[in-house]
Amino acid sequence: GIQVEQSPPDLILQEGANSTLRCNFSDSVNNLQWFHQNPWGQLINLFYIPSGTKQNGRLSATTVATERYSLLYISSSQTTDSGVYFCAVNNRLAFGKGNQVVVIP
Amino acid sequence: NAGVTQTPKFQVLKTGQSMTLQCAQDMNHEYMSWYRQDPGMGLRLIHYSVGAGITDQGEVPNGYNVSRSTTEDFPLRLLSAAPSQTSVYFCASSYSGLAGSYNEQFFGPGTRLTVL
């Protein structure tokens, strides 16, 4: 099946810093989503982005489907951004192992 | 809309016991699915359904059964629980499971299951 790799696996940020999370996938995709899993375990939809660029407040995402990667940008990070960020692809949602992000005040 | 709901939130079983995890959605979504999440890992697909009366296996189906008698409900059954099934279980739904369709999936809050 399709392989999904996320980097970096762990990231510690000072509050206010910017960061970029990367998702590489091994084959063409028809669906790509980014999720945030908060410290309580809840999965929150961030972006549905099989291609192109989207922005939502301090977060934005870009998927370059032809080059098989997607990027999630976090700007002016806040402590509430802490958690695990997952990239998942295709209709049966193959997940990466996530990016563990800790934002310290 | 309540979205995707799951019950119970927590459950402890003994090896060999059976139970059913409940999942319901009120968004009239055709596609529903079950995932499990183990520590340090992403979610893995157990079973899915593209509509009432239709189910299929995902990546890790062994030890689990599903049925889909209505659009709204998609229960997951553990027939004889094993310690290897200790995990967090998530249910999800979307409008369609068809390639090329709008398939944003929405997740329930999860059920934390421990098998002793």
Mean pLDDT is lowest, of A15-29, A59-73, B90-104, for B90-104
Q: Do the chains contact at A95 and B44, CB–CB below 8 Å?
A: yes
Residues B40/B48, Cβ–Cβ less than 8 Å: no
Provide mean pLDDT across the span A46-56.
96
By CA distance, what is B48's nearest residue in A? A92
Q: Touching check for A61 and chain B: CB below 8 Å?
A: no
Whole-angstrom distance, CA of residue B21 vs CA of residue B90: 10
What confidence category does residue A91 fall into, taking pLDDT thresholds of 50, 70 and 90?
A: confident
Among B41, B58, B90, select the one facing A92 at the smallest CB separation. B58
pLDDT (tens digit per residue) in B64-94: 999 999 999 999 999 999 999 999 999 999 9
- Closest-CA distance, B96 to chain A, in angstroms, reads 9
Q: Touching check for A67 and chain B: CB below 8 Å?
A: no
Q: What is the mean pLDDT of chain A?
A: 95
pLDDT (tens digit per residue) in B40-49: 778 999 999 9
User: Which burial class, exposed, middle or buried, applies to A57 when counting CB atoms under 10 A from its CB (0-12, 13-18, 19+)?
Assistant: exposed
The per-residue pLDDT for A90 is: 86
Q: What is the mean pLDDT of chain B?
A: 94
A104's enclosing H/E stretch is strand A99-104
Beta carbons within 10 angstroms of residue B63's beta carbon: 14
The per-residue pLDDT for B42 is: 84
Provide mean pLDDT across the span A59-67.
97
Provide mean pLDDT across the span A50-79.
97
% of chain B beyond a pLDDT of 70: 97
Q: Do the chains contact at A92 and B45, CB–CB below 8 Å?
A: yes
Q: Does residue B97 carry a pLDDT above 70?
A: no
